Structure 1
Amino acid sequence: MFSLTAFFLTSCAALSAAAMPFSQLTKFLPSDVAHVGLDEDRREFVAYRRDGSLYGRFPVDDSANNSFTKRDPTCGDLSVEQAEGMPGWGAITKYADDKWGTRSRNIVTNPDGYLNRPAQVCVTDEVIELSFSADPVCQTHTTTTQGELVGTSGTVAIGVEQGFNTDTSYTVTQASTLGMDTTLEISVGIPEVADVTASMTISTSVTNELSSTFDVSYNDVSTVTLTMNAEEGKKCSAIVESKTCNMQAKGQIRYLATGWIWFNYEDRTEGHYKWAAHIDSILSKDDRSTFAEFRGAMSSDTKTAYKGTCA
């Protein structure tokens, strides 16, 4: 029977024999591969493990390297200036210094030749849970809706609304140093608060810019038909009880750097002019993250009960 080890080695051999764009190559690299050199003479990518040992050589497919890949709505391009705001930026440059030296070089992200394997900043796929700074302040009120006779049967049908809705504007009070001015999609989690809100997750878009605003809206209010028998000479109505609550809410969005940073040297170092360092393999999640914070006064309206009367 074909073993998993044999299958893996056969797959690697096939990859080595086939020219491929950088994006395809990096999909198959194991997590301990932390940097890739570009052998411009042989037109090969040379992949190395973090300990410096050679992993493999892979032909370059120039026809695919310049193709643009559609970005995920939760990600945006990462510039060098933004990458310098990562807590672990010093570890990235030290990695390059230790591996390839400190001689003259320029550092770039998203070079034109490799647009299909960008350095990006993404909001993580974890739900951003709101927290409340104090107990909700609530007011209860009632509304009355009059009914009309249906035909000549003496039956009255009244439409009453039931459910929960919220429409809150939040303000970014601290912007992340990663992905400035970039609008990305996030998922906001509203926790359950007894008699005020149900637990739910809402998708919205946020711009990583100080004092920018974004809305978090949810509406599951529907109309329920209340049918009553009206005695002759009596009028019927429906009374709906609603509770409006206000809460000071806040949340924190993690912006996470991912991808490759290129170190382009004027002279060959360790055999190559160009080296790409893998952010994900070199830095921990916290060392490649910064946060944006937002606050707002969350308002919710819950239509809690109704009853019909005829008098």
Structure 2
Amino acid sequence: MSVTRVGAIDCGTNSIRLLVADLDPETGEITDLDRRMVINRLGQGVDRTGRLAPEALERTFAACREYAAVLAEHGVGPDRLRFVATSASRDAENSAEYVAGVKEILGVEPTVVSGDEEARLSFTGATKELTGGQFPGPYLVFDLGGGSTEFVLGTTGVEAARSVDIGCVRLTERHFGGGGGVPTAEQIALARADVDAALDRAAEAVPLTAAATLVGLAGTVTTVAGIALGLPEYDSARIHHARLTVRQVRETAHRLLEMEHAERAAIPVMHPGRVDVIGAGALVLLEIMERTGAAELVVSEHDILDGVAWSLVS
């Protein structure tokens, strides 16, 4: 089979991302042609109202128009494009408006995947290149999103998976008053309890302590990695497959939770759209590491977006 050019879009609670890539199914090689992200905060207020906000929809549609131009530039039509929608659109009452807008702009309907399918796509994207003795299996892959976190355990394939409704946006809105200031000790304690309850639900389906390698995905994880590594700017090449100790994650999470908004915004690797939610996200990350008992975390820049791309040729 020859190399196939595809487009993949992952629209989550906090961000919408595009990957245009050439895939070689025989070698398992993926060659990026364009990979980009827009913070659209589609999940704004969904936990409280049950609806997608008009301004959140417009931000999302604006990103779709940008992505349509990129796809056209690379010659990727609707027949080689997959758009996956995750947590926020699963929860919203007015999801039909969202689906119609995406289809009008891009020519494809969003595939609203289940939490378990989201986990499987993340696993494929994260582990396809993790072979050999450097990263031994089995792997516990977690995708820490804005509205949900997916856990999947496996070696060459998925053995167990579970999605739970805990993420950086949802936790910020529930407990941190929107994320502008420094959370109180009481707010942090309530947030920890919320995360612990979610991890209890995940552990009902996925053995959280059974993996040889813990792999973390998505923007919270890569941002925490960039901060822990002291990078002067975001550098995906240095972040991809970086190893973080639980001590590094703990110290970084505590620092972020003690920072004022302006201090977080001044961090060199921080995307402006993550400033409000990074404290809550780092707290979730720390709780996951402590629950799994992992001494270190492998950070992956390849995630559900890569899994969506591979699903087009599988």
The structure in which a higher percent of residues are helix is 2
The structure in which a higher percent of residues are strand is 1
TM-score clears 0.5:
no
Higher radius of gyration, 1 or 2: 1
After TM superposition, the score normalised by the length of structure 2 is 0.21
- Structure with larger RCO (C-alpha < 8 A, sep 6+): 1
After TM superposition, the score normalised by the length of structure 1 is 0.22
